[in-house]
Amino acid sequence: MEKSLTLPALALGLSLSAGLLATGLYLKQTALALKASERTVTVKGLAEQDVDANIAIWPIRFTAVENDLPRLYDTLEQKSAKVLDFLKQQGFDDSEISLGLPAIEDRQAQGYADPNLKYRYTAKVTIALYSSQVARVLETRRQLATLAREGIAIGGNDYENRTEFLYTDLNAVKPAMVQLATENAREVADKFAHDSGSHLGKIKSASQGQFTISDRDSNSPQIKRIRVVSTVTYYLTD
């Protein structure tokens, strides 16, 4: 009776051991396969492109001084009319030009009057030009001597008076630049895979960085440099 019970128990134990061993081997192989599938390389691809600005914003500022306030307003009107005529002669229309209100300062109302002060009132006027005719704006800036001959001194190229150039057609270049950034990333990944004795597999994940637009250099702000970086993770295979 005891012998007949021992043999089936022994057989059952051997069967369980074999099953556990097989399961262990399977799990080990599965773990190795999963580990191999997680071999990846993450690379970045850069794309840059230079484009011409398509919008120019030019603040044209001039000043006038007087001791008589009504006469000061007359002077401002005369100078403003000359600037407006000058811009229209250069090919700009009314929709591109806006005349701001004059900023007038009464120096005697400041609580301290300089005895050597020659003029009581000083005024600043800004005429803003917002135009898509960028080349025409650049050429017009070179013609400012015409206004100087009319007795109108336009402010220099400091921060307040500088012309701002914009590029607003980013959607036109986005697709090609994203493609180029991705191609550059793949070239880097291919080189890494080759050097490590592997082959490049499928893309695991990819992300596109922000597009940035900046001046190409300080001397030509009308030329913009667009830049984007894509980050791509590839699987590696043997």
Instruction: State the pTM of this model.
Output: 0.77
CA distances from 166 to 173, 182, 217 (A): 15, 27, 14
pLDDT given at position 185? 95
Q: Does domain 36-53+167-238 have CATH number 3.40.430.10?
A: no
Indicate if 55-166 has the same CATH topology as 36-53+167-238.
no
Which pLDDT score is estimated for 63? 93
pLDDT at 26: 44
Is-contact 232 206, C-beta < 8 A? Answer: yes
The encoded tokens of residue 178 equal: 């994203």
pLDDT for residue 118:
87
Q: What is the pLDDT along the chain (238 residues), one digit of tens a residue?
A: 444 456 555 555 555 555 445 444 544 454 444 455 578 999 999 999 999 999 999 999 999 999 999 999 999 999 999 999 999 999 999 999 999 999 999 988 876 666 678 899 999 999 999 999 999 999 999 998 899 998 898 876 666 778 999 999 999 999 999 999 999 999 999 999 999 899 999 999 999 999 999 999 999 999 999 999 999 999 998 8
Going by CATH, does the domain composed of 55-166 fall within 3.30.70.2970?
yes
pLDDT of residue 20: 47
What's residue 109's pLDDT?
80
Name the pairing type of β-strands 55-66 and 164-166. antiparallel
Please tell me the distance from the alpha carbon of residue 189 to that of residue 43, in angstroms, as a whole number.
6
Segments making up each domain of the chain, as ranges: 36-53+167-238, 55-166
